[in-house]
């Protein structure tokens, strides 16, 4: 490979044989190394755990919910506090026991946050359901639950989970 330096108005431009400016060749090499490095990158490690909690919900137009639960992560148990507020057409009261998994977490504190959902539902007596929720930390709850009570709801609600 030969290098030719040409001077134009006090500026030196280096060319690689074949006419490509050296600056473009360096950029192309850096881009190629970046792409190769991206292909070899190790993905961030995320784990999962199991979660169990109960929520009691009641309201007329504006509703509230509260409860408690447990997260099991890497063999350790962490106590959880559950709370929430809903607004919309809500009438009645219900209690729901949820069981499921929480994924895409790196530590128990990733479960902390607000999980939002908009929905329409009704429960009279005992009912079963399933839901998937995500918080601002990227934690994904995959839950199934059994609901008891009399409640009719068409509301926007948020569920806040925090470690005790």
Same domain? For 103 and 35 the reply is no
Q: Backbone phi, then psi, for 136, in 5-degree steps?
A: -70, -15
- The CATH code of the domain that includes 98 is 2.40.128
Of 55 and 156, more confident: 55
Q: Which domain holds residue 26?
A: 3-40
| Confidence (pLDDT) at 31 | 66
* 68, 110: one domain: yes
pTM flag (> 0.85):
no
Q: Is pLDDT of 6 > 50? A: no
What integer best gives the mean pLDDT of the chain? 74
List, for residues 71-87, the tens digit of each pLDDT value. Answer: 999 999 999 999 887 77
pLDDT value for 7: 47
> Which parts of the chain are beta strand (E)?
3-8, 11-16, 20-21, 47-73, 76-105, 113-134, 140-163
Angle at 96 between CA 92 and CA 102, to 5 degrees: 135
Higher-scoring residue by pLDDT: 60, 26: 60
**How far, CA to CA in Å, does 50 sit from each of 34, 65, 85, 113, 127?**
38, 22, 24, 17, 22
Does 154 lie in the same domain as 75? Answer: yes
- Give the total number of structural domains in the chain: 2
Same domain, 63 and 32: no
């Amino acid at each position: 490979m030969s290098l030719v330096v040409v001077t134009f108005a006090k500026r030196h431009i280096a060319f690689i044989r074949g006419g490509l400016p050296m600056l473009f060749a360096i950029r192309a090499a850096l881009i190629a190394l970046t792409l190769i490095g991206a292909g070899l990158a190790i993905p961030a490690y995320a784990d999962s755990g199991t979660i169990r909690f109960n929520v009691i919900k009641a309201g007329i137009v504006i509703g509230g919910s509260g409860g408690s639960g447990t997260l099991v992560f890497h063999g350790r148990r962490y106590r959880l506090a559950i709370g929430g507020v809903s607004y919309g057409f809500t009438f009645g009261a219900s209690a729901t026991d949820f069981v499921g998994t929480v994924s895409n977490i790196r530590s128990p504190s990733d479960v902390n946050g607000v999980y939002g959902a908009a929905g329409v539902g009704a429960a009279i007596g005992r009912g079963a359901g399933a839901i998937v929720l995500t918080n601002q930390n990227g934690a994904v709850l995959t839950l199934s639950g059994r609901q008891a009570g009399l409640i009719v709801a068409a509301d926007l609600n948020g569920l806040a989970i925090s470690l005790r």
